[in-house]
């Protein structure tokens, strides 16, 4: 099956673009690179793209939260983005941070946001052009839009109330079982306990992608997220990981590729839950039972 055929099979095919499409339409869209490695954009980026730093630009610097409406409007102006622009996001790490930025754009209701299928790695693997030139960016106006924390974002108390409904832990298996919080030679990543939220199904984020980092076809995705779990597109989902970046990737798969209407990303994720006083955790391979 070709990539274009795969895309046309998704519930919302309009939110994914191919590298070829982007190469042909780059002047009609605003391209935004969002990486884990904060120096990658400087090494070389897709011509015309602007850099978005998830850590210093999307997050509030004084509290653990995202920008507010005023700050987001200022950020968009600084990036040269108008409210009506079509945004194409891409990045390293199989688009973890691109989908994270996508999710943040949607907290502010930006209408037309798309993901470059295969991300930075595929663009480079195909030998496409990179540049170090930084485009002039400034927009005249971006409205102040209130952030919507209700529709696609879940907070810890909402996750507690959600237990028993589809909950997806997208981290790697050893993180899920609690076998490890950190790798050899590396200090603890910031949670006091290892394990997962009771009842959570383990579906590592990477289940959704092929070797070239593009998304699997819709039948393969349905087999992983629905058939193997008993969940359906009509269910109410919550996804989480460590700080909400890998789960943005799965949130994107569930909502836009599989057409799940109600799916929220729990951005507090394990760095919050694994430290919370008074909440249960589960360890080992099994999801664990619901205790209230």
Partner 1 sequence: MNSNAEAVIDDFTFLEERDRLQLLLEFSEQLPALDSRFGDNPELLERVEECQSPVFIAVEGSPERVLLHFSAPQEAPTTRGFASVLNAALNGQSAQEILDLPDDFPSMLGLDRLISPLRVRGMRGMLARIKRKTAEIAAAGN
* 3-state SS record for 7-74: HHCCCCHHHEECHHHHHHHHHHCEEEECCCCCCHHHHCECCCCEECCHHHHHECCCCCCECCHHHHHH
Q: How far is the CB of 171 from partner 1 (least distance, A)?
A: 8
The two structure tokens encoding residue 257: 């590729």
Among 158, 189, 217, 235, binds partner 1 (CB under 8 A): 189
**b/e map 22-51, b = 16+ CB within 10 Å:** beeebeebbbbbbbeeeebbeeebbebbbb
x/- mask, partner 1, residues 235-264, rule CB under 8 A, reads -------x---x------------------
**b/e map 146-184, b = 16+ CB within 10 Å:** ebeeeebbbeeeebeebbeebbbbbbbeebbbbeebeee
241 flagged as catalytic: yes
Q: How far is the CB of 181 from partner 1 (least distance, A)?
A: 11
Contact 228, 221 (CB under 8 A): no
Binding to partner 1 in span 102-131, by CB under 8 A: 121, 124
Among 172, 207, 262, 283, binds partner 1 (CB under 8 A): 172
Question: Toward partner 1, which CB reaches closer, 5 or 185?
Answer: 185
Using rule CB under 8 A, residue 196 touches partner 1: no
Contact 107, 131 (CB under 8 A): no
Give the burial class of 69: count Cβ atoms within 10 A of its Cβ; 0-12 exposed, 13-18 middle, 19 or more buried. Answer: middle
Using rule CB under 8 A, residue 38 touches partner 1: yes
Question: Toward partner 1, which CB reaches closer, 190 or 259?
Answer: 190
CA–CA distance, 66 with 69 (Å, rounded to integer): 10
Question: Toward partner 1, which CB reaches closer, 28 or 63?
Answer: 63
Q: How many residues bind partner 1 (CB under 8 A)?
A: 26
Among 27, 138, 184, 192, binds partner 1 (CB under 8 A): 184
Instruction: Choose, from 241, 257, 263, 281, the residue flagged as catalytic.
Output: 241
Q: How far is the CB of 70 from partner 1 (least distance, A)?
A: 21
Using rule CB under 8 A, residue 158 touches partner 1: no
Q: Which residues are catalytic?
A: 241
**Which residues of this chain interact with partner 1, rule CB under 8 A?**
36-40, 42-43, 55-56, 61, 92, 121, 124, 171-172, 175, 182-187, 189-190, 242, 246
């Amino acid at each position: 099956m070709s990539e274009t055929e795969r895309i046309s099979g998704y519930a919302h095919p309009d939110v994914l673009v191919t590298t070829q499409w982007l190469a042909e339409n780059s002047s009609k869209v605003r391209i935004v690179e969002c990486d884990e490695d904060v120096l990658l954009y400087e090494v070389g980026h897709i011509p015309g793209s602007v850099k978005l730093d998830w850590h210093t630009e999307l997050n509030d610097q004084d509290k653990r939260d995202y920008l507010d409406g005023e700050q987001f409007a200022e950020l968009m102006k600084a990036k040269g983005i108008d409210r009506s622009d079509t945004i194409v996001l891409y990045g390293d790490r199989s688009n973890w941070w691109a989908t994270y930025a996508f999710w943040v754009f949607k907290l502010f209701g930006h209408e037309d946001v798309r993901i470059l299928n295969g991300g930075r790695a595929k663009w480079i693997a195909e030998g496409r052009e990179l540049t170090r030139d930084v485009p002039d960016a400034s927009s005249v106006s971006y409205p102040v839009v209130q952030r919507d924390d209700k529709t696609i974002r879940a907070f810890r108390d909402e996750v507690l109330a959600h237990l028993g409904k589809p909950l997806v832990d997208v981290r790697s298996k050893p993180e899920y079982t609690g076998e490890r919080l950190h790798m050899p030679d590396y200090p603890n990543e910031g949670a006091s306990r290892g394990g997962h939220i009771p009842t959570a199904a383990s579906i590592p984020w990477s289940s959704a992608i092929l070797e070239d980092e593009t998304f699997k076809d819709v039948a393969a995705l349905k087999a992983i997220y629905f058939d193997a779990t008993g969940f359906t597109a009509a269910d109410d989902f919550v996804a989480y990981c460590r700080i909400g970046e890998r789960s943005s990737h799965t949130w994107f798969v569930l909502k836009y590729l599989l057409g799940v209407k109600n799916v929220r990303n729990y951005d507090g994720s394990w760095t919050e839950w694994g430290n919370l006083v008074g909440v249960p955790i589960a360890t080992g391979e099994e999801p664990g039972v619901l205790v209230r």
